[in-house]
Amino acid sequence: MDRRALLLGGGVVLIAGALLWPRKKRDPEAEVRAMIAECVTAAEKRDLGTIAEHLADDFRGSQVSSKQEVKQLLLGYLFRNQNGLVVLNPSLDVKVSGDEATFSGVFVFARGRDVNWQEPGDGVSRYDLDGRVEYRDGHWVITSAEWKR
């Protein structure tokens, strides 16, 4: 067997192996939960860029009308106080239907790590957040959200 035939046979085996190799199934609910967890971590780090990456360009909300307005709102909130920020997410419900999903959760923002987050008025804000997400261009983006204190 000559060298060319050996290389060609090896290439065919590699391609066939790659095509037949079992792929990990996508778990959309886990992906949405991971995206939200990444946003929570970004908020604690005051990383507005990461949060903005997860907002759709056509984002809409009941209290803001655009992605830019959300960024401005977050910028003011995240940078208003220079104390450390802790974000807790004690509950999160995610429902997926194809390439769309909804989520509903409680998010608690506490200023400083020594704050008693269970005591009202102690540098703590609680938000109930309901949102919609869509799977676009290979990743989930938040398309709308409503929140109340």
Residue 60 has pLDDT above 60, yes or no: yes
| SS3 state of residue 40 | helix
The whole-angstrom separation of Cα 43 and Cα 85 is 8
Please list, in sequence order, all residues whose beta carbon lies within 8 angstroms of the beta carbon of residue 68, skipping any fewer than 6 positions away.
Answer: none
Mean pLDDT, the chain, as a whole number? 82
Residue 11 lies in a domain: no
Q: How sure is the predictor about 31, in pLDDT bands with cuts at 50, 70 and 90?
A: very high
The count of structural domains within the chain is 1
- SS3 label, residue 144: strand
The CATH number that applies at residue 142 is 3.10.450.50
Domain, as residue range, for 46: 26-148
Percentage of the chain modeled with pLDDT above 90: 46
Residue 13 lies in a domain: no
Residue 112: pLDDT over 90: no
Residue 21 inside a domain? The answer is no
pTM score, whole prediction = 0.75
Domain-embedded: residue 72: yes
Question: Does 130 map to a domain?
Answer: yes
Name the token pair of 105: 């959760």
Band (25; pLDDT cuts 50, 70, 90): low
pLDDT at 32 over 90: yes
Domain membership of residue 8 (yes or no) is: no
pLDDT at 62 over 80: no
